[in-house]
Amino acid sequence: MSKATSSAPSQRMLRVAEQVRAAITQVLQRGDVRDPVIETTVIAISEVRMSPDLKHATAFVSPLGVKDHETVIEALNRNAKFIRGRLGPQLRQMKYMPDLRFRDDTSFDNYQKIDELLRSPEVARDLDQTDDDKA
């Protein structure tokens, strides 16, 4: 019989992901990374997703006040091994230190598009019609 697999992360994966997110945030806030792109950019880490074996962590980041997100993502990925080495004190309870990958977080863009759609005249008109039908 095959084992049923779920696409939802386990509680352990979620807990470890939050610990990794906090540890990466501390490293970036302390200014440990000596890269001009990273030093001059405020970086928000919105989410970290762990692989089921907890050996890989994908951090979704949003560089604030920067148009070219790709440059910041490349700089973070270039320095991923250095950042991983700095995570040791915060994550010493882990058997393996996870490999880090950084990706651009596009969820804020998606939220903005949804907000613009909801505020569009067509949607407002449809909502007004629905309210009139209920009355």
CA–CA gap between residue 60 and residue 47 (Å, rounded):
5
Structure confidence at residue 1 (pLDDT): 44
Residue spans of the chain under pLDDT 50: 1-2
Whether 71 and 49 map to the same domain: the answer is yes
Contact 24, 60 (CB under 8 A): no
User: What does the pLDDT read at residue 107?
Assistant: 79
Cβ atoms of 122 and 64 within 8 Å: the answer is no
- Is residue 64 located within the same domain as residue 113? no
pTM of the model: 0.77
What pLDDT does residue 67 have? Answer: 87
Residues 40 and 100 grouped into a single domain: yes
Residue 5 lies in a domain: no
For residue 4, being part of any structural domain is answered with no
Answer yes or no: do 73 and 134 share one domain: no
Q: Is 96 exposed, middle or buried (0-12, 13-18, 19+ CB in 10 A)?
A: exposed
Query: Can you give the CATH number for the domain in which 66 is found?
Result: 3.30.300.20
Instruction: Flag whether 2 is in a domain.
Output: no
DSSP-assigned states of every residue in 48-76: EEE-TTSSEEEEEEEEET-S-HHHHHHHH
Number of domains in the chain: 2
Specify the DSSP element, H or E, that contains 42: strand 42-50
pLDDT at 4 (0 to 100): 53
pLDDT value, residue 116:
81
List the domain range (segments joined by +) for residue 47: 11-104
Residue 53 confidence (pLDDT) = 93
Residues 82 and 16 in one domain: yes
